[in-house]
Amino acid sequence: MPHKVYVTLGFHINFYHSWRGDTPDEAGFGTDIRVIREIIRILDRANASGLSARGYWDTEVYWTFQEILPKHSPDILTDIRRRVDADLDEIVLGPFNNGANHAATADEFRASVAWAIENEWGSGLRQLFGKVAPFYRPQETMFTVGQESIFKECGVDGIMLYYAGVPFNTISSFIPRLTDEQRYNPLWFRAREDQPPLILIPCIAAGDLIENVSLESLMLDLHQKQLRGEIQSDVILNINEDADLETWLPSVKWLPNMGGLDEFINVVNKYPWAEFTVPSEYVAAHAPRAEVLVRQDLADGGYDGNYSWAEKCASIRAWTLLEQSRLASYRAASLAQRARLNLTDNHW
């Protein structure tokens, strides 16, 4: 049987933006609502016509699913749950509150991951959807050394980071060049030798499709390599983009080969050796093809640090409160040590 080219489409949801406003209109998260509703309509329309069409949704929890969606667009929550229940789409974890995970303490990061799964407010992704894939797509690739152990504690088996030819990118700058068979398959990933390995599912984005002319061109190139024996396995194209991007819609008329989600669906359904999948299904049937060690902090992928968040007034207020909270915790821990108290025994 010839090897296949699998495609998984990742819709990254986050209604709280550093570069756009926080209002329910086109100046704010109204754009997210409009584009996501259209994405769901395109997927549903394709399925109704007998075509394969599916993907996964990775998301932060607090702003989008706890605060904004229930108030402004509960239909999106209902529709995503319907598609998950039908085993069409999949939910992938993101940070609880879109926080700067790479700047978190161990306890803060542990809470961010655990609360994204289940929390006392009922907004955890497992609580909302009944099931969650054991993979984590960090906001703006905010990953740093030592987080592997905490992921494993929380039941997370894998992570999604970009191995891309154009920005947005993360790991390719720090490791030897991977073969096509490796870069389009799961990998073992760790940031330090004493950390447990995570399964890494590398991502690409729209820029990579343009770089390769189109999704169809990239798929054909990979399949020809499979037929020639240069790639001796299945491969997966993990296309992950913000769910509010107009590139999902057939509206970018000035750019060739950018028919959006409709084009992706038609191309994958065009070839018998191509197939849509979701991360958990592909990983269950395909072992990692290599191991990579990346020691660097990977936050923001474009190597401009946290500037776009740091300059936002709300972020400055939040960071000030966080610093005050940390100082209070450190003082409490120091006083408890002097008094020989165990803070975990409910003395406080």
pLDDT, tens digit (0-9, with 9 covering 90-100), for 76-85: 999 999 999 9
Give the HSE-up count for residue 75: Cα atoms under 13 Å, Cβ half-sphere: 8
pLDDT at 43: 98
- The mean pLDDT value for 110-133 works out to 96
Task: Give the three-state DSSP class for 268.
Answer: helix
Q: What is the pLDDT of residue 309?
A: 63
Cis? peptide before 168, omega within 30° of 0:
yes
Q: How far apart are CA 46 and CA 38, in angstroms?
A: 12
What does the pLDDT look like over 225-261, one tens digit per residue?
999 999 999 999 999 999 999 889 987 666 666 789 9
Give me 251's structure tokens. 């509206």
- In sequence order, the 6+-apart residues with CB closer than 8 A to the CB of 304 are none
Indicate if the pLDDT at residue 347 is higher than 60. no
b/e map 126-149, b = 16+ CB within 10 Å: eebbeebbbbbbbbbbbbbeebbe
pLDDT of residue 102: 80
Tokens encoding 65: 């699913």
Share the mean pLDDT of the chain.
Answer: 90
If you average pLDDT over residues 123-150, what whole number do you get? 93
Q: Which residues touch 5 (CB under 8 Å, ≥6 apart)? A: 219, 222, 223, 226, 234, 235, 236, 237, 271, 273, 274, 275
Contacts 24+ apart (CB under 8 A), 225-232: 225/180, 226/2, 226/3, 226/5, 226/273, 227/2, 230/180, 231/3, 231/179, 231/180, 231/181, 232/3, 232/181
Q: What gap in Å lies between CA 205 and CA 242, rounded to an integer? A: 9
With cut-offs at 50, 70 and 90, classify the pLDDT of residue 177.
very high
pLDDT at 255: 67
pTM of the model: 0.90
Report which of residues 268 and 18 the model is more confident about. 268
More confident residue, 277 or 318: 277
More confident residue, 345 or 58: 58
Q: For residue 343, what pLDDT is reported?
A: 66
Question: What span, in angstroms and rounded, lies between the C-alpha atoms of 39 and 49?
Answer: 16
Cβ neighbors of 156 (< 8 A, separation 6 or more) are 93, 113, 134, 135, 136, 198
pLDDT tops 90 at residue 165: no
- Give me the mean pLDDT over the 63-81 stretch: 96
pLDDT attached to residue 40: 98
Q: Per-residue pLDDT for 282 more than 90?
A: yes
Say if strands 187-190 and 198-200 run parallel, antiparallel, or are unpaired: antiparallel
Up-side HSE of residue 72: CA atoms within 13 Å toward CB? 21
> Percent of the chain at pLDDT above 70?
92
Q: Is the pLDDT of residue 121 over 90?
A: yes
pLDDT of residue 346: 44
pLDDT of residue 318 exceeding 90: no
β-pairing verdict for 198-200 and 158-159? parallel
| Span 33-38, average pLDDT | 97
Q: Which residue has the higher pLDDT, 19 or 129?
A: 129
Confidence at residue 96, expressed as pLDDT on a 0 to 100 scale? 94
Quote the pLDDT of residue 169. 80
Three-state secondary-structure class, residue 294: coil
- Please choose, from the candidates 281, 283, 14, the residue with its C-alpha nearest in 3D space to the C-alpha of residue 137: 14
pLDDT score at 302: 54
Nearest to 43 by CA among 89, 6, 90: 89
